Structure 1
């Protein structure tokens, strides 16, 4: 143990918390039953993962054994009831003769991140325990291996709490690692109460010193559009957390809809509770970038807050996560954007991502370290997921939740005026280019609607995805590449193979608008959504109906290609063949009287459309159906126009890049002009 005699003051930066509602949906993210280690041999020898599996040398018995072990492990992780009772937000009673582990997403201390991004080299564990048993503090490494740091016996009488403290050095954590505690109750008939557990760091290591106030403070910027009940619930959750409100200046609630939050039943009560900690603003719909930029600009102009937290209106927050992000930012060596993970709103233990990178060649996002998206902590707890113990660095964080220092905003500006899509990615990359990193901090997250119920190609959003992706390239890529043209044409072909000719048109419109220059992008922003919707409405694939009786019965039953998987190379060949078939075809199914099949939303990818001329396709939200029809002539025309536009874009890339970079799209003056027209 290090000598802590010179450390007089410690600051709590992580409080162990527990869910007081929705416990049946989220508990594995907070606490689990302790169980023996079940790590595979690749944790000890990572070279094993460099070899592919030879299934041909595996007999049926060996395969069944592996499958049964995997199913058994998942079932045990997902179904085990926790041997304890939550007493309140920070207290749990451990059942007699039971052991609990706090090696969980929300309660394991992200030691490797503190080691990497701050000057902190030791932390203090502190908690109150009433009963008899043992507290074991555990540390893991980037490999996912873990060992006990110290074991502390609990010898209380069961009436008065025993204070437990331990100081742990942050060593051997360069590649990754967590700290957490396990607790065992030795009593045969009494519970053991765990209360007020927290992780503390030396106050002297704090890097950000607030001017004229004892601690740094933040404002929260929420942009909302016709989701008043979600937004009101978010305001209510923030208002209920006294610890968070001690650090809160105000919430800028930017309402851009016509179904207003302020008209909701219960708003007056929440607003009265928050008082000056709520600043309610209305403006025309300028998208997420306009709503967040308004909150950022208001924070800068007010001059009170040290940080701004961007928070989506339909996300469910964990208030402790907001505090953790703020306090981590206090200690980082450089001004740092602190983001969090995104859990699925409809499957609350599934983490969509804990960090993403931007591939500069494809100008598209990918998971950091090649980790899988959608990790389920109920089936695969953190304790048994060694790959999740690596330090996961990121290029950017989605704006479902992201804390930004006001000093960074003053330095690099606001969001791009692009309505939605790629604004969060671009901002973090811009910050990185100025020396301000983004950290996606474990233990910080929100619950947000997942992407599996969305398909931008079937909505007006496709325009903004396409346009803003290549605006990003002009701002941050040094030169045009052949891969860029491939990506543009790939997107066109993908949409065309699915009979989504409106998507092809919106993609082309995005490139056309880029070629008109940055001044047009800014001046057209307020009315662009209506224009894009009008353009899309001209296409039959934009029409939907909730009543299946509006359509003829499909001629055949649909069988998903997923039931007939093929090797990757064969899939690529199949895609190329399908493209050639449409380019050379003469089919026009606009006047067919009956769809061939009905395709569920989950199967609405290109391979499902091979060999058919029309299909009823369920919308991504499962609430309506479109009748999509093949039109080979329109497909050929779309590909030809796409080739021409992508060639024009790449040829003009140097000139356009210079224009867009010199325009200062995200500058304060640009946004003040936009807001002044409201």
Structure 2
């Protein structure tokens, strides 16, 4: 039931649902007998991978995420100029209705056919010429009095002779102590015959201590993939080291047209792999083809629909026309205007990303940065060589959403800070990196006001390592993470506890001013007042009682810097809900870290032009297969000696 809205849509479209007398939420509360009630897909109507039953006189649309045809993307990026929709339907008097959409989501009826007799096979030839800025094709089925069954449907195209031979791919999966997830993913990939037809090899970079080969589900994965599965054990080099290994091995084998990066903790729609390869085969030039990300916990919710990088801030975000966290169970494709406009991107996350081997040979492998920014930097680097990235609708995985993680505060904050700065040094068009240095300083002050001293210290270390230059990146792949974890544990804000009553009870010497709960969310004015008073508070001694008892408890969703900074000590929940930490204000620590913050950022701004040139001069070398080969060899020798 959770994924059905991505495939079939029995509901009527409502483009301007917010302007409608009945919103989607209100329609969902109406009894099914009401004419305006929301209609949900029937799971019992699914008869197989390709077959769907439509009850008598019912109308069902296949204008959905996985079954619609994203015509504007094929029109923009590929050699395809027209597409043929083939539909086979059984059921007397059933109708097949074909539609197209405009970039603003308005639908137009294109063609139709009626089943005469017991069954019908229909072909509709459809031009892609009017889809310059956006638009989809799809079809609906209206059953007759005896019902109807969609037996099969496909979108096919005539292509030039030199494009007729399909490319093949190797899939690279980096895994780290997720054996159950990884084993299930391997079985999903291996269990699809269409994927096998284009698959050369699945390369698993095993970097953990809990091995995928020891999981009970691995036997099924091994049987499904056979000799197309290869496990390579290496030290923990993060995602960049794992994906670089798969990229390197793919180039060494010399047989695949593409290498696909895929996370180990995803649920895959195998058809997406075939679609990405097909799209890549037909692109006008070698093109990186990415998939979208749906939430693993709310499977109809689209979490990522492509990313761009603001060159002045050098920060990634969704394009301005994208609606984030879009729930297709509430508003499907035909009811969503923004989904019909073509979305162009700068990069695609490596949770699912198809990279032509030609691109790898020319621009190099992953940047040796462990995690964070390896995928985005690669997209920008490839674009600078003339190779675009396309995030393709209809190709996707289900993944844990970023909003459920705490990677901006824990040990990963080091890699966020260091790798964003390195990416900006490599690719920012501005002499001093635009806003990068200023934003880094501002974030550092917020962490200091929030008593997140461990995060501030890791970010300092990140910038110091940036200033040291690119020469150490390969050598630190295996050593940096243990160093960061050991350093964090010296700070109270990094010591989390799972037991809710582990910390002392909340106590305050004075009651809240005017009885107002200081932990409640604040409006814009309240935020500004908190920010101003918090700056003054840093110069005052820590309240004595706050050293023994927290002054409040804050939920993770409320733990913004201006909320935390009101207190001298506070217990803060972690975003995943599993633990909490006790933040304590320390005047001496604050002063020391503030002084270092000022000095480091002044130096970074001053040295930026020369530092950027150093990184750019070394980029080709540190991302080359030869440099990565030395790293892999050194790691193998170290593991053997150990």
Partner of 1:8: none
Partner of 1:115: 75
Partner of 1:377: 328
Q: Does 2:128 match 1:170?
A: yes
| TM-aligned CA deviation for residue 463 of structure 1 | 0.3
Contact 1:488 1:642 in 2 (8 A): no
Distance 2:121 2:399 in 1: 37
Distance 1:309 1:622 in 2: 33
Contact 2:521 2:558 in 1 (8 A): no
Unaligned regions of 5+ residues in structure 1, if any?
1-23, 43-64
Partner of 1:82: 41
Q: Does 2:341 match 1:390?
A: yes
Q: Does 2:152 match 1:199?
A: no
Which one of the candidate residues 501, 506, 528 is aligned to 1:549?
501
| TM-aligned CA deviation for residue 278 of structure 1 | 0.4
Partner of 1:673: 630
Give TM-score scaled by structure 2 length: 0.92
Label 1:384 to 1:256 Cα distance change in 2 as closer, same or farther (>3 A).
Answer: same
| TM-aligned CA deviation for residue 524 of structure 1 | 1.8
Partner of 1:128: 88
Which one of the candidate residues 282, 292, 295 is aligned to 2:243?
292
Unaligned regions of 5+ residues in structure 2, if any?
31-35, 636-642
Distance 1:322 1:562 in 2: 47
| TM-aligned CA deviation for residue 482 of structure 1 | 5.6
Partner of 2:319: 368
Label 1:207 to 1:543 Cα distance change in 2 as closer, same or farther (>3 A).
Answer: farther
Q: Deviations over 1:270-296 (max 9, x none)?
A: 213312110111111000000000001
Q: Does 2:601 match 1:646?
A: yes
Contact 1:514 1:521 in 2 (8 A): no
What SS is found at the alignment partner of 1:230?
helix
What SS is found at the alignment partner of 1:155?
coil
Q: Does 2:138 match 1:180?
A: yes
Contact 1:382 1:388 in 2 (8 A): yes
Contact 1:492 1:638 in 2 (8 A): no
Q: Does 2:612 match 1:657?
A: yes
What SS is found at the alignment partner of 2:622?
coil
| TM-aligned CA deviation for residue 79 of structure 1 | 6.0
Partner of 1:27: 4
Q: Does 2:625 match 1:625?
A: no
Which one of the candidate residues 309, 313, 319 is aligned to 2:270?
319
**Bigger shift: residues 78-87 or 392-401:** 78-87
Label 1:276 to 1:561 Cα distance change in 2 as closer, same or farther (>3 A).
Answer: farther
What SS is found at the alignment partner of 1:148?
strand
Distance 2:231 2:316 in 1: 34
Distance 1:578 1:467 in 2: 31
Distance 2:521 2:298 in 1: 27
Distance 1:111 1:396 in 2: 21
| TM-aligned CA deviation for residue 75 of structure 1 | 5.7
Distance 1:621 1:661 in 2: 38
Partner of 2:640: none
What SS is found at the alignment partner of 1:626?
strand
| TM-aligned CA deviation for residue 485 of structure 1 | 2.3
Distance 2:7 2:74 in 1: 20
| TM-aligned CA deviation for residue 38 of structure 1 | 4.2
Question: Equivalences for 1:450-469 in 2 at 5 Å?
Answer: 450-469=401-420
| TM-aligned CA deviation for residue 575 of structure 1 | 6.0
Partner of 1:47: none
Q: Does 2:601 match 1:601?
A: no
Contact 2:168 2:200 in 1 (8 A): yes
What SS is found at the alignment partner of 2:123?
strand
Which one of the candidate residues 531, 534, 542 is aligned to 2:486?
534
Distance 1:38 1:71 in 2: 14
| TM-aligned CA deviation for residue 635 of structure 1 | 2.6
Distance 1:432 1:75 in 2: 48
| TM-aligned CA deviation for residue 342 of structure 1 | 0.6
Partner of 2:33: none
| TM-aligned CA deviation for residue 499 of structure 1 | 1.6
What SS is found at the alignment partner of 1:135?
strand
Label 1:553 to 1:672 Cα distance change in 2 as closer, same or farther (>3 A).
Answer: same
Label 1:652 to 1:572 Cα distance change in 2 as closer, same or farther (>3 A).
Answer: farther
Q: Deviations over 1:144-167 (max 9, x none)?
A: 11111101112232xxx4211110
**Bigger shift: residues 537-546 or 325-334:** 537-546
**Bigger shift: residues 281-290 or 168-177:** 168-177
| TM-aligned CA deviation for residue 314 of structure 1 | 0.1
**Bigger shift: residues 217-226 or 267-276:** 267-276
Q: Deviations over 1:423-455 (max 9, x none)?
A: 000001100000000000000111000122212
Q: Does 2:23 match 1:69?
A: yes
